[in-house]
Amino acid sequence: MTDPIPLDLARLRRSCAECSLQILCLPAGVDAEDISRLEAVVQRRKPLTKGESLFRAGDPLRAVYVASEGVFKTVVLNEAGEEHVLGFHLPGELFGLDAIGSGKHRCEAVSLGDARVCELPYAHLASIAAQVPSLQHQLLRVIGQSADRDQDHVDVLSRRQASERIAMFLQGLSDRYRRIGRAADDFVLPMSRDEIARYLGLVLETVSRGFSRLHEDGIIEVHGRRVRILDISALRALTQGCEGNPHPQRRRNGG
């Protein structure tokens, strides 16, 4: 995910019907004619590089987005100019929905590495969705999921201990990788420890210690940004506040 991807013009021109993310972006039951109508309004943005912004706070709502490759973070700055991470967006996940209510984006979307994006102009998308009930249902479902994630994030920041926040983050990321058809128990984190800390409302040292403890307890294996989940049941137990070492025999010896 973090390796540079060579520019492939043929791939950039592929249609929605050929896209490997079609099953994620489009609902079941959308026929070829409806896909063609949607394809006609989808715009493929030029590739973005690490640190490049897709939209900024205050920008008017023009489109919603799906990353076909790469990962984005959405961020806001506080009064002191410090960055707070609102979320991370994996390939196949719709984002840019923050502007639907007010018509202006409330945050900035920044690429975490080389990325490609499908842009769906909102005015056209709304018009097509009104004529294609299955697509309209999919959009409402995605908006609902986004609201649920926002509420879960508020719950994490307001009520959870540091160990629970880290465990919930890893389990949630694992679940999302599974949904997009990627390995759910062995993945490379596209974000830094510092970005995770800014998302979870923790300091960098706390996140680093949390990862180290999970590694020592044999729940995960960490090598740089690569994470292998060794005991998903123990990880889930930690999300419920079950502290302590569930596998004392594994501590420090990995077995």
Residue range 155-198, pLDDT digits in tens: 666 667 888 999 999 999 999 899 888 899 999 999 999 999 99
Q: What is the DSSP string of 82-144?
A: -EEEEEEE-TT-EE-GGGTTTSB-SSEEEESSSBEEEEEEHHHHHHHHHH-HHHHHHHHHHHH
**Choice between 8 and 80, residue whose per-residue pLDDT is larger:** 80
DSSP state, 46? P
Q: H-helix or E-strand containing 193?
A: helix 193-200
- How buried is 128 (Cβ within 10 angstroms: 0-12 exposed, 13-18 middle, 19+ buried)? middle
The percentage of residues in the chain with a pLDDT greater than 90, rounded to a whole number, is 44
Q: How confident is the model at residue 89 (pLDDT cuts 50, 70, 90)?
A: very high
Q: Give the residue-averaged pLDDT of 38-56.
A: 87
Dihedral angle of Cα 171, 177, 183, 184, to the nearest 10 degrees: 10
Q: Cα separation of 193 and 135, whole Å?
A: 37
Q: How far apart are CA 218 and CA 182, in angstroms?
A: 23
Q: Quick one: average pLDDT of 199-227?
A: 96
The predicted-structure confidence for 217-252, as pLDDT tens digits, reads as follows: 999 999 999 999 999 999 999 988 665 444 444 444
Q: Please compute the mean of the pLDDT values over residues 137-157 and round it to a whole number.
A: 68
The mean of the pLDDT values for the chain is: 81
How many Cβ atoms from other residues are within 10 Å of residue 142's Cβ? 18
- What tokens were used for 229? 């989940």
d(CA 146, CA 12) in angstroms, rounded, equals 27
